[in-house]
């Protein structure tokens, strides 16, 4: 079974709708194809993190009791066709109102989740595209050969938000340079690093742009996989700016911004919400 066939079956697979023979073929493919395996893992994480929250909650007990009382009254012996008709209409109106209220709540929650999810994926796509341009020298750096803190001063003179460039000395980490670039329509600081021989990009955005993503904690860290890259998105708890980290080495790239203790915390957070 090739990748195109497997990708066409991802959603039936996640929803448990495949026949046993097809299921076995797809799972055999996952053991040998990292790209498809990462794709289905992302969909399973999304389902676990979001889909269950869209299921409507049962009506409160006092509402159910009230409706039961209304329906019981309908079954009681009453005189007059008009009174029976009136009670029936009242009951149907109450039931309809309840359904509208519950449905509206679920719809609003669903819309909010879908909107924030779409914004996050759009940001991740843009971050991956810019990462590829930076690492292929399509976008040469505006500054290079300086320390992260010198880069921070350079950016602060040119960007209108309180940018903070992490500086965590490590033998695994090399700062390569940076430039100003628009990420998904937002002016950001784009920083390039080398971690364990792999290219890593860090995009720093104003807090207002991050808030427009509509992401709520927990979790603090959000992981999106696009085109074989991991994109980790979070907000600084100190100055409110947003970050998007792009790499092919997963959580090991977090050394760009976080101490070993913070990396363990972020890994645990991501694992808990996958």
**Sign for the pseudo-dihedral over CA of 84, 87, 91, 97:** positive
Quickly count: other Cβ atoms within 10 Å of residue 54's Cβ.
12
Strand partners, 242: 205, 235
pLDDT score at 210? 92
Beta bridge partners of residue 230, listed in sequence order:
225, 247
pLDDT at position 179 = 92
Q: What is the pLDDT of residue 274?
A: 43
Instruction: Give the pLDDT means over successive 10-residue stretches in the chain (274 positions).
Output: 83 81 86 81 67 56 76 63 59 56 45 62 89 81 89 92 80 87 86 90 93 84 86 89 89 74 54 45
As a whole number of angstroms, the longest Cα–Cα distance in the chain is: 92
Token pair, residue 111, equals 């819309």
Strand partners, 223: 232
Q: Which domains does the chain have, with CATH numbers?
A: 3-49 (no CATH), 120-272 (3.30.200.100)
pLDDT at 222: 87
β-strands 173-183, 242-247 pairing: unpaired
CA distance 39 to 126: 18
Which SS3 state, helix, strand or coil, does residue 59 take?
A: coil
SS (H, E, C) 100-121: HHHHHHHHHHHHHHHHHHHHHH
Q: Are the C-beta atoms of 119 and 185 separated by less than 8 Å?
A: no
The pLDDT value given to residue 272 = 45
- What is the chain's alpha carbon radius of gyration, rounded to the nearest angstrom? 26
CA geometry: angle 244, 189, 221, nearest 5 deg: 15
Whether the CB-CB separation of 141 and 176 falls below 8 Å is answered with: yes
The whole-number pLDDT of residue 201 equals: 93
The runs of H, that is alpha helices, within 76-186 are 81-135, 148-156
pTM over 0.85: no
């Amino acid at each position: 079974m090739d990748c195109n066939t497997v990708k066409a079956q991802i959603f039936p697979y996640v929803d448990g709708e495949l026949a046993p023979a097809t299921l076995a073929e797809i799972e055999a493919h996952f053991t040998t194809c990292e790209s498809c395996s990462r794709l289905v893992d992302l969909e399973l994480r999304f389902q676990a993190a979001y889909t269950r929250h869209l299921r409507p909650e049962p009506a409160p007990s006092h509402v159910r009791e009230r409706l039961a009382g209304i329906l019981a009254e309908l079954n009681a012996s009453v005189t007059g066709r008009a009174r029976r008709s009136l009670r029936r209409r009242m009951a149907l109106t109450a039931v309809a109102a309840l359904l509208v209220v519950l449905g509206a709540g679920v719809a609003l929650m669903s819309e909010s989740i879908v909107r924030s999810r779409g914004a996050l994926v759009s940001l991740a796509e843009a971050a991956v595209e810019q990462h590829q341009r930076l690492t292929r020298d399509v976008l040469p750096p505006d500054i290079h050969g300086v320390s992260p803190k010198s880069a921070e001063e350079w950016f602060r003179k040119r960007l209108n938000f309180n940018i903070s460039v992490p500086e965590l000395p490590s033998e695994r980490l090399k700062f390569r340079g940076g430039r100003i670039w628009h990420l998904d329509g937002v002016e950001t600081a784009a920083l390039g690093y080398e971690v364990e021989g792999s290219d890593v990009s860090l995009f720093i955005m104003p807090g207002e742009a991050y808030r427009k993503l509509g992401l709520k904690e927990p979790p603090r860290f959000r992981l999106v996989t696009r085109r074989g890259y991991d994109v980790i998105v979070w907000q600084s708890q100190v100055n409110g700016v947003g970050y998007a980290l792009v790499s092919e080495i997963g959580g090991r790239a977090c050394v760009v911004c976080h101490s070993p203790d913070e990396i363990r915390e972020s890994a645990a957070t991501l694992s808990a919400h996958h």
